[in-house]
Structure 1
């Protein structure tokens, strides 16, 4: 019995290591391509370990008017703004859908889910026309609002189960103690859904960080554009600077990887709750 358990443990470890290697290989290939000289990138057979590695691409992507540092700063502003606005709007909406007896609740939830099926490009042209009229093109606020319109249904769907699992007695006790509904929501309910807020905040920030279409459509000012456009700049019509492109991609992924490392406990718990409640 002990030998069987040991063999099973070893098998799981081997499978886990194999799965990790498969998932990490694209990251490894991206990194080694970024430090390869151009003549080694398209060599056949492929070179898995650069013979003459160079870190010049990492220096070049942080120089000039199109520095990745500028794009990453812009992405942080847009991502943080989109995350905060989405949480501000989605938390009350999800709470209302979880607590209030609303006629047609199933239809409302169905519409929210269905809205996730439509591609972002459907909204790009109408938003551009509206933004042109009200002066929101080439602004951080415009990009934040555009991202929020896409992220809001997703955030509401993900947050609703966290409110459903809270007993209604908490609100009743708070009301008896003299709290109004506004105070009860912000001082009693929201602190108890911290895991859900962190989970939704992380995913909305990630999705805003990776957004490209709105950034290309609603902004022509290079000083306002996010990191996805910075990476896109290295892709030419006839030729791409592959080592610089890979260096920019690798650097831009680091903040997200670091965030997931520190917040993975909340994310796993949040997704588990979302899968079992509702």
Structure 2
């Protein structure tokens, strides 16, 4: 570079710095304006909430390794998968689910559970509303027994019946209770028989429903009682996956517990309730077919 080029570059950089400051101030102003509107609760913001949610899920896996739990922490992602896949394996054994049958992963996201189910069932279908995510899965899919579909479950034209259907947290992002009830009715109608299982994993509020609204993220946290109004669940189990971060701190003090976790990930179900008494944060809801 010549001296003149260096000077021009310096001037441009300083202009960019000024512009960045202006944009940062504008960004903070707009975010505060939106959050104040949400907090006041005077306006019906349903349309805006739908837009924010749709935008988030269309881009979740661009911003996070695991968009489903909004995490780039590889250790946390590994622990989460070990814990929940162990829970699934135990569920399949306890309920004697037919592994020669079919499974539906509703809201398949990263597809790590879809691929896990593929090891346990003859056929698996993963459904998600994110076009980019499903397209990526279709391109990378190497499993003959797995199919991916981009669709809203109510518009989805799947006709076959399933031995196992899994919802990994979709209802937390649906505001309308009647719509949640309609989707649950649709999914349970897709169960093959009385030996089939519909498993729902949702984040929950302890005492009353909490609608969390921000410019980047929207979530509707219902209580166990709220979910019980949708259907008579056969079983409700506490899911300690949200306490895995706390469990890692615990293992720093008791490192032998981490070795125990890798041998039996479900061991945290015994440890967490004794130390972490902040209330429920996630549950598995189980309904059998008719």
Q: Relative contact order: is structure 1 or structure 2 higher (C-alpha 8 Å, sep ≥ 6)?
A: 1
- The structure with the greater share of residues assigned to helix is 1
Q: TM-score, normalised by structure 2?
A: 0.24
Q: TM-score, normalised by structure 1?
A: 0.24
- The structure with the greater share of residues assigned to strand is 2
